[in-house]
Structure 1
Amino acid sequence: MTEQNTAAPAAADPELRERLVGSIRELLPQVLRREVDGVTEDTALMDALGLSSTTGLELVLELEERLELEISVEDLGRDDFGTVGSLADYVAGNLLTEA
């Protein structure tokens, strides 16, 4: 039997997370191709805004380009797209660094 790593991810840099939330909010109208008002960290991406798996992937790619980051999408799942905040948490905790 193999052990799974159940440790909680390291706390994300609050400044980076704030930048991610802001960037997600700014990119949503572009990705969804319509105006979106009143988006907060708690806004449900799929339920409230109708984000699909395709537009979710586009959003992640746009985030990478805008912030010049590389995001590991290996463990990216539907739950990570729950809210603006949950996506920011995932991204902040899953950045790839150049070796």
Structure 2
Amino acid sequence: MTERDTALPAIDPALRERMVEGICALLPHVLKREVTGATADTTLMEALGMSSTSGLELILELEERLDLEISVEELGRDDFGTVGTLADYVAGNLLPEA
């Protein structure tokens, strides 16, 4: 294992919260149904029935809505565990503006 594999990137708590809020705001649009009470602990696939296709759509919508570019090189199924794990991934994998 490399150091990158074992060390988690430092994530700004304010940025993470912004990502949680953005993800929760986009869930009804992406899932095409009402979603209430979603929090950082809400499971995306189990509780909300999100598929891998809707997960990818969520990432694309998040980029567009928040005017960000997210590296998806290492994005995996585990990152879609909860709203919080996805927010952690996004906050830790933003690409610098060109």
State the TM bucket, normalised to the shorter chain: over 0.9
The structure with the largest alpha-carbon Rg is 1
Deviation of 1:7 after TM superposition, in Å, equals 3.8
Residue correspondence of structure 1 range 1-99 to structure 2 within 5 A: 4-5=2-3, 6-98=5-97
Q: CA deviation at 1:23?
A: 0.5
Instruction: Give, as a single letter, the amino acid of the residue that structure 2 aligns with 1:35.
Output: E
The CA distance in 1 between the partners of 2:38 and 2:6, in whole Å, is 31
Gaps of 5+ in 2: none
- Listed as ranges, the gaps of 5+ residues in structure 1 are none
Aligned-pair identity in percent equals: 71
- The TM-score with structure 2 as length reference comes to 0.93
Moved over 6 A (4+): none
> How many residue pairs were aligned?
97
Task: State the distance in 2 between where 1:88 and 1:47 align.
Answer: 17
Task: Tell me the TM-score normalised to structure 1 length.
Answer: 0.92
Structure 1 residue 37, shift from structure 2 partner = 1.2
Alpha-carbon RMSD? 1.3
C-alpha distance in structure 2 between counterparts of 1:98 and 1:41, whole Å: 27
Letter in 2 for 1:70: E
Residue 95 of structure 2 aligns to a residue in which SS? coil
SS of 2:58's equivalent in the other structure is helix
Amino acid in the other structure paired with 2:2: Q
